[in-house]
């Protein structure tokens, strides 16, 4: 089982690395797109480390994170739109570098990289707190409501982490135009959350009571 999980993890990791590299360096027309190298570093180095830690300490959670087969129609739509957003954003960022459409100062790029890593750490903390954290919207067998830690502040800390994580990507890549494309993501997350909460309210015992206790979905005192 663990051998199969290792092969699956390594395959997805390498595929992700290859696809991201192609989407960035081919449209850029150069391997000297340094913003892309920075992004690949802050993305795949922590990802590799997190994969090893999960493999050793929580292989079941790693297996859940590798499963991307959604059952909900609305979630399939969100994933498809997110995929188009990422592809379009990466290509536009690379073309922006190639043709110098826009330029961001180094301090913004560095700050975005720091925000990306902090968001990644927040994402890791959410995974530590919630052993039921799947990439698909579903109610798992014996699943319980998590209300401690970050889940005691907002109901969807993982999505808060991914929003800051993904919005920092085009800034690391140095593209204002790509950032505009990535602004679609918070809207997609809003759609995903509404559908996910409907599923959890219907199938997860105690979730309705939890929503009354923790009122805010993403940002305290706002939404």
* Model pLDDT for residues 71-109, shown as the tens digit of each residue: 666 777 888 888 999 999 999 999 999 999 998 999 999
Q: What is the pLDDT of residues 106-155, one digit of tens each?
A: 999 999 999 999 998 888 888 777 766 655 555 555 567 777 778 888 88
Q: Among 18-22, 137-141, 154-158, 180-184, where is mean pLDDT lowest?
A: 137-141
Return the residue matching tokens 């560095």.
110
**Residue whose tokens read 């700050």:** 111
pLDDT in tens, 39-55: 999 999 988 887 787 77
Q: Do residues 25 and 36 lie in contact, with contact meaning Cβ atoms separated by under 8 Å?
A: yes
Please give the Cα distance from 130 to 158 (Å, whole number). Answer: 10
- Give the residue among 168, 88, 81, 59 at the shortest CA–CA distance from 120: 168
| pLDDT for the residue numbered 217 | 86
Q: Domain 2-213 is of which CATH architecture?
A: Up-down Bundle (1.20)
Indicate if the pLDDT at residue 168 is higher than 90.
yes
Which sequence spans correspond to the domains of the chain?
A: 2-213
DSSP state of 100: T
If one counts every other C-beta atom within 10 angstroms of the C-beta of residue 217, the result is 21
pTM recorded for the entire structure: 0.85
164, with CB counted inside 10 A (0-12, 13-18, 19+), is middle
Q: Where are the beta strands (DSSP E) in the chain?
A: none
pLDDT at 211: 83
What pLDDT shows up at residue 9? 80
| Cβ 108 vs Cβ 39: under 8 Å | no
Residue bearing the bigger pLDDT, 58 or 44? 44
Check residue 67 and give its pLDDT.
61
pLDDT of residue 171: 97
């Amino acid at each position: 089982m663990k051998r199969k999980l290792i092969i699956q993890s390594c395959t997805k990791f390498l595929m992700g690395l290859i696809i991201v590299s192609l989407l960035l360096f081919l449209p850029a027309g150069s391997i000297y797109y340094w913003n892309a190298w920075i992004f690949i570093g802050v993305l795949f180095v922590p990802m590799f480390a997190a994969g090893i830690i999960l493999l050793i300490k929580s292989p079941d959670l790693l297996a859940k994170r590798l499963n991307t087969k959604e059952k909900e129609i609305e979630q399939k739509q969100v994933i498809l739109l997110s995929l188009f957003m990422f592809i379009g954003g990466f290509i536009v960022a690379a073309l922006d570098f190639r043709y110098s459409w826009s330029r961001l100062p180094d301090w913004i790029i560095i700050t975005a990289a720091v925000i990306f890593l902090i968001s990644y750490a927040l994402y890791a903390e959410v995974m530590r707190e919630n052993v039921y954290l799947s990439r698909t919207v579903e109610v798992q067998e014996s699943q319980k409501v998590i209300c401690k830690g970050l889940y005691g502040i907002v109901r969807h800390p993982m999505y808060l982490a991914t929003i800051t994580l993904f919005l920092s990507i085009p800034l690391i890549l140095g593209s204002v135009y790509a950032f505009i494309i990535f602004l679609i993501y918070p809207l997609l997350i809003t759609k995903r959350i509404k559908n996910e909460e409907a599923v959890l309210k219907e199938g997860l015992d105690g979730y309705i009571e939890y929503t009354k206790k923790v009122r805010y979905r993403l940002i305290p005192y706002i939404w």
